[in-house]
Structure 1
Amino acid sequence: MRINHNIQALNAYRNLSQTMASTSKSLEKLSSGLRINRAADDAAGLAISEKMRSQIRGLGMAERNALDAVSLIQTAEGALNETHSILQRMRELSIQAANGTLEDGDREAIQTEIDQLTFELDRIADTTQFNQKKLFSGEQNGRAFAKISSNQVAYAGNGEWNGQVTAEPTSPAKVDIEFDSNLGKVSKANIEAKTFTINGKRYEIDLTDGTSKGIVNGNIAVNVTGWKDPASNDTDIIGNMNLLLNALEKAVVDNDSDFTVTKSLASDIGNNTDGNIKNAILSLATKKPMSAKDVDNMQGTNENVSTNVSGVTFKNPYQANVTTNKLGADPNAILANSFTIEFSAMPKAGDSLFIDGLTINFDTPASAYANGTATLDVTGKDISTLLGEIVAVLDDATKDSNNPVAALSPVYSFNGTMLTLGTNKTDNGSTNGLEIELRDQSFDSGKSEDLNLNFQIGANSSETLNISLSIMDAARLGIGFNADGTKAAVGVNAEKGVNVSTEAAASAAIDQLDEAIRLVSEQRSKLGAYQNRLEHTVTNLQTANENLTAAESRIRDLDMALEMTNFTRSNILNQAGQAMLAQANQLPQGILQLLQ
């Protein structure tokens, strides 16, 4: 008998420890529901299970990718559905225009609608997006880094857009006919048969002495009665001036419906003999607003004014004390013409933007504004930051004493990716508007045919689906044209639609629109095929996910009934072990009997 070593207690303790460890493992498995909680549980099973988990999660994400692809295709197909509707309407209009019962004016109205529908085709192609990805504008290098919203700016080729933005005139064309005191002193012999030429009409002075005439010598008569000859004082001079003014006013009002006429009579501003007389003014204004270019485009030389009457001058009311030989136009409209430059990407080194006389280069190193030029570094910037810098350059330019952006509206701003500019300068036929030029050196209209998209529709790297979306603007459909009638480049917005201005042109347009409808149908058919394939892909991914999950479950999940049996066994052994350990610890007590 020994008291230093209780072998029986040690044996019972060892067995109890093993049983408790087994019980702990059973509890862990039963509480987690997993057969494998750590690599020690089943090293090979864990490796297989983790590979399966990668596939299962990959299949789940691939399913979401495929559903996103279906959503993208549905977005694209929905836009093309409206494109189809527009083309069908255009074809309907072309058939109408081809009918011989229509006049040219009727076809002009049809052409207006055709043009607007063409612009809408381009707008749909430009703005249809999914997750900010433009679907029908082709690859990025087939689009310029920015798009100018004004139809006065057009594509000039070689990645360059330019034009002159002008405001619509809001003021009429005017001319002031000013009569000074010298006119009132002219004798009857020297005033008789003198002429005025206004708006292509010739007016001839006729001293009727009471007999009114409509036409004299083939000219419109200006009937003047009571001319003082000689004019002996200021009253006589003023009387003669106002007689002619009133007679000319009546002749213009009676014979020219283009003008509204106002007048300011001559008056004495001194005494009756000092010759200090306020000039008489007859003001003519066109009934519709006109720009300088509109004036120049008046029929023939109708904008010209002239007279051989001594003491009469024509003046431009928009230019102080400036004599003229034609109608004058206000160079500034009340309302500015605003437009936007929308940046879809950051410009690259070598690209540039010209605003009136200001040159903004995108390159490195950057240089501050000086003498009408600035260079902006685009490295590491976002579009909003760049536009803020462009506005800062415009601020510097407008403050320059040699302001290079004189035609720029005082209000200009940016918001997000859009730079808003404007001008209140009307068109004078040369450089009166806001000159705009955008240069994108990497632009290639030939690369804008297709947008290629890769969809990850499987759990592994090689399992992808590639689809291509053709550019769907008016030019690509063959019905977008430049202002001169030439076909617009693909990727560049059209300036006018298919020509239906004549019966023959309208008949030819039907065939062009048939081809456009075919191209859209072809694209929609491709999209429908892609969508049907993806729907099968989604079903297959769901099935694979389900089966692989079941397989992984058989490896990793716990058989709860079996493990509960093991737990019950271990629990009984724990109780027995604890009892036997207690008994073994009592055995050395017997040695005390020997010591009594």
Structure 2
Amino acid sequence: MKINHNIQALNAYRNLAANQLSISKNLERLSSGLRINRAADDAAGLAISEKMRSQIRGLEMAERNALDAISLIQTAEGALNEVHSILQRMRELAVQAANDTLEPSDREAIQAEIDQLTKEIDRIADTTQFNQKILFSGSPKGRAFAEANSSKVNYVGNGTWQGVVTAAPTEPAEVILDIAAALGAETQANIDGKTFTINGKVYEIDVTNLPTPNGLTNTGHIAVNVAWIEPAATDANIMTNVNNLLSALKAAIEARDSQTFGTNIQKIDVTDPDVSNDGSALTNGRLILKTVNNMSPKEASTISVSTSFTSNVTYLDPVDLTTPVTTLKAKDQALASESFTITFAEPPKNGDTLKIDNLTITFSDSTSSSYTWNGTGGTATIDVSGKDVFQVLQDIKQVLSDAKADTTNNPVGALNSYTVVGSSLVLSTDRTDDGNAFGSSNGLEIQIIDSDFEANKGKELKLEMQIGANESETLGFDLSVMDAASLGLARKADHTTPLSVGVNAEAGIDVSSSAQAARAAITVIDQAISKVSEERGKLGAIQNRLEHTINNLKTANENLTSAESRIRDTDMALEMTEFTKNNILTQAAQAMLAQSNQLPQGILQLLKS
């Protein structure tokens, strides 16, 4: 018998510890439901299980991706369904317009609806989105980085949109007919038969002191009957002659050109500042001709004025009253501004340009420079590298602020106001249309140059759907450009000149010029219907394929999950059996440990004896 070492107790303790460790593992597996909770449980099994788990989670996400792809296709196909409806209506209208029972006015009404339907096709192409991805305008590189919503800014080719934005006139056009008092001293012979030509109408003076006029030299002229005093020996006679002429001419114009001038003609009589001194200088007499309608300088320039008098009669500019003119004049500024927006679809790229009035902003991916005047115009360069649309717009706003502050050169004099709203630059101008072409206009000039538009326009939107758990398991398809131009329907305002893909229609295909033109339009619309049908058929086939893909993903996911379960999950019944066994062994080990701890007590019996 030994006192220093209780080998039996140590043996019982070792078995007890082993049993407790086994129970701990049993409890862990039973509580987690997993056979493998750590690599030590089954290193190889853990590695296999984790690879399976990555595949399972990948398959689950691929299934969601495929469902998202179907949602995208359904969105696209729904939009094309409406395009089909529009095209069917357009074809119906074209067939109607091809019938010779219609008058030109009837075809014009049909054309108006065709134009609106064509623009709606463009709107659908521009706005149909899924998760902010525009579906039917083609590749983002095949669209302009910005677009002005003004009908006055149009595509001119080579990736360039330009035009002159002007405000609607708010004041009438005017001209001043100035007649010197000296004309009142002329003889009847020198006055009779002289003419004033105003807005294409010839007014001829018919002078007489008799009860009846002398008669006109041309029966197409409009008589201006004036009782003429001869000789005009006094200032009073001279004033009477000129004032009578002004009154007669005013009455004739109001009677024969009421649509243009109405009663907006103001007469200013000749006066004598020094009545007591006969022969003193008299003031000039005037007719201020003012149009009924508000007019721009361009419209006013179409109303010409002239006279056969070589002296004493002058048409004057109503603003400076010294410059002789040959047409009516209108103000180049309106009381109300015209506002429009330039909306940015994406940040500008290196080489793109935006011109506002006489300020040219160039976009770069490496350099920048603030506003400066180069002698002929304002310039600035904005570095767009790594910037989003909102940051670029803030830079543009700063450049405009600097240019507006340059009151010496005034590069943006036609620009009234500017502000940034979301992804749009809102501009306004009060300049009216003076009729000049781009480059020499009095309005607000806008030019947008997309440097790679021509190279990329019309490119389809290519999409790659991740429909599997691994890198190469993708489904690729593309969405065709479905704007009016790609369908062959977009026209310029003349209804005959086709527009290129990526450029919104100004008008629809011609159905109004003749029945033959309407018949030709039927064939073009049929081709557009066929193209949309082909696109819808393609989308439907892809959707059907994706539905099979989803079924395959679900099956693979189910089978792989089952396989992973066999490796990773615990068999609860078997584990419970093991737990029961280990629990009994632990209790037995505890009892034996207690018994082995009593063995050394026998030594005390020896010592007592």
TM-score (norm 2): 0.90
User: Which residue number corresponds to residue 298 of structure 2?
Assistant: 293
Residue deviations 1:98-155 (CA, integer Å, cap 9, x gap)? 1112222322232222222222222221222212212112123322222232332233
User: Which residue number corresponds to residue 333 of structure 2?
Assistant: 332
1:535: Cα distance to partner? Answer: 1.8
SS of residue in 2 equivalent to 1:423: strand
Whether 1:118 aligns to 2:129 is no
Partner Cα separation in structure 1 for residue 210 and residue 596 of structure 2? 156
Partner Cα separation in structure 2 for residue 303 and residue 214 of structure 1? 28
Q: How does 1:51-200 map to 2 (within 5 A)?
A: 51-200=51-200
Residue deviations 1:368-426 (CA, integer Å, cap 9, x gap)? 21111111111222221111111221222222211222222x11122232222233323
User: Which residue number corresponds to residue 8 of structure 1?
Assistant: 8
User: Which residue number corresponds to residue 413 of structure 2?
Assistant: 406
User: Which residue number corresponds to residue 34 of structure 2?
Assistant: 34
Whichever residue aligns with residue 462 of structure 1, its letter is S
Partner Cα separation in structure 1 for residue 23 and residue 233 of structure 2? 136
Residue deviations 1:457-514 (CA, integer Å, cap 9, x gap)? 1111121111111101111111112346332111222222211121111110010000
SS of residue in 2 equivalent to 1:5: coil
In terms of mean alpha carbon deviation, does 410-419 or 314-323 score higher?
314-323
Q: Is the 8 A contact 2:267 2:286 kept in 1?
A: yes
Partner Cα separation in structure 2 for residue 201 and residue 351 of structure 1? 51
SS of residue in 2 equivalent to 1:29: helix
User: Which residue number corresponds to residue 380 of structure 1?
Assistant: 386
Q: Which of residues 226, 230, 233 is equivalent to 2:232?
A: 230
Alignment CA distance shift 1:11-1:362 (3 Å)? same
User: Which residue number corresponds to residue 567 of structure 1?
Assistant: 579
User: Which residue number corresponds to residue 21 of structure 2?
Assistant: 21
Partner Cα separation in structure 2 for residue 237 and residue 163 of structure 1? 53
Gaps of 5+ in 1: none
Partner Cα separation in structure 2 for residue 268 and residue 98 of structure 1? 67
User: Which residue number corresponds to residue 263 of structure 1?
Assistant: 266
Partner Cα separation in structure 2 for residue 420 and residue 433 of structure 1? 16
Q: Is the 8 A contact 1:228 1:240 kept in 2?
A: no
In terms of mean alpha carbon deviation, does 36-45 or 435-444 score higher?
435-444
User: Which residue number corresponds to residue 521 of structure 1?
Assistant: 533
Gaps of 5+ in 2: none
User: Which residue number corresponds to residue 498 of structure 1?
Assistant: 509
Whichever residue aligns with residue 486 of structure 2, its letter is R
Q: Which of residues 366, 369, 374 is equivalent to 2:368?
A: 366
SS of residue in 2 equivalent to 1:329: coil
RMSD: 2.5
Whichever residue aligns with residue 232 of structure 1, its letter is T
TM-score (norm 1): 0.92
User: Which residue number corresponds to residue 313 of structure 2?
Assistant: 312
SS of residue in 1 equivalent to 2:86: helix
Alignment CA distance shift 1:86-1:321 (3 Å)? farther
Partner Cα separation in structure 2 for residue 242 and residue 464 of structure 1? 91
In terms of mean alpha carbon deviation, does 277-286 or 565-574 score higher?
277-286
1:581: Cα distance to partner? Answer: 1.5
Whether 1:457 aligns to 2:467 is yes
Alignment CA distance shift 1:291-1:255 (3 Å)? same
Alignment CA distance shift 1:259-1:307 (3 Å)? farther
1:189: Cα distance to partner? Answer: 4.5
Whichever residue aligns with residue 53 of structure 1, its letter is R
User: Which residue number corresponds to residue 395 of structure 2?
Assistant: 389
Whether 1:283 aligns to 2:288 is yes
Partner Cα separation in structure 2 for residue 487 and residue 317 of structure 1? 44
User: Which residue number corresponds to residue 472 of structure 1?
Assistant: 482
Q: Is the 8 A contact 1:383 1:416 kept in 2?
A: no
Partner Cα separation in structure 2 for residue 197 and residue 332 of structure 1? 28
SS of residue in 1 equivalent to 2:556: helix
Q: Which of residues 488, 501, 517 is equivalent to 2:499?
A: 488
User: Which residue number corresponds to residue 446 of structure 2?
Assistant: 436
Q: Is the 8 A contact 1:94 1:510 kept in 2?
A: yes
Alignment CA distance shift 1:573-1:232 (3 Å)? same
Q: Is the 8 A contact 2:196 2:203 kept in 1?
A: yes
Partner Cα separation in structure 1 for residue 134 and residue 286 of structure 2? 61
SS of residue in 2 equivalent to 1:58: helix
Q: Is the 8 A contact 1:266 1:277 kept in 2?
A: no
Alignment CA distance shift 1:303-1:105 (3 Å)? farther
Partner Cα separation in structure 2 for residue 440 and residue 109 of structure 1? 36
Residue deviations 1:495-540 (CA, integer Å, cap 9, x gap)? 2221112111111001000001110111111111111211222222
User: Which residue number corresponds to residue 345 of structure 1?
Assistant: 346
1:53: Cα distance to partner? Answer: 0.7
Whichever residue aligns with residue 266 of structure 1, its letter is D
Partner Cα separation in structure 2 for residue 240 and residue 73 of structure 1? 84
Whether 1:425 aligns to 2:437 is no
SS of residue in 2 equivalent to 1:216: coil
Partner Cα separation in structure 1 for residue 359 and residue 212 of structure 2? 61
1:188: Cα distance to partner? Answer: 4.2
Q: Is the 8 A contact 1:456 1:465 kept in 2?
A: yes
Partner Cα separation in structure 2 for residue 187 and residue 142 of structure 1? 75
Residue deviations 1:246-267 (CA, integer Å, cap 9, x gap)? 2212111111132222314337
Alignment CA distance shift 1:229-1:435 (3 Å)? same
Identity %: 58
Q: Which of residues 265, 276, 279 is equivalent to 1:273?
A: 276
Partner Cα separation in structure 1 for residue 335 and residue 96 of structure 2? 40
Residue deviations 1:152-177 (CA, integer Å, cap 9, x gap)? 22333322222333333333332222
Residue deviations 1:43-75 (CA, integer Å, cap 9, x gap)? 222122111111110011001101111111111
Alignment CA distance shift 1:318-1:268 (3 Å)? closer
Alignment CA distance shift 1:422-1:566 (3 Å)? same
SS of residue in 2 equivalent to 1:444: helix
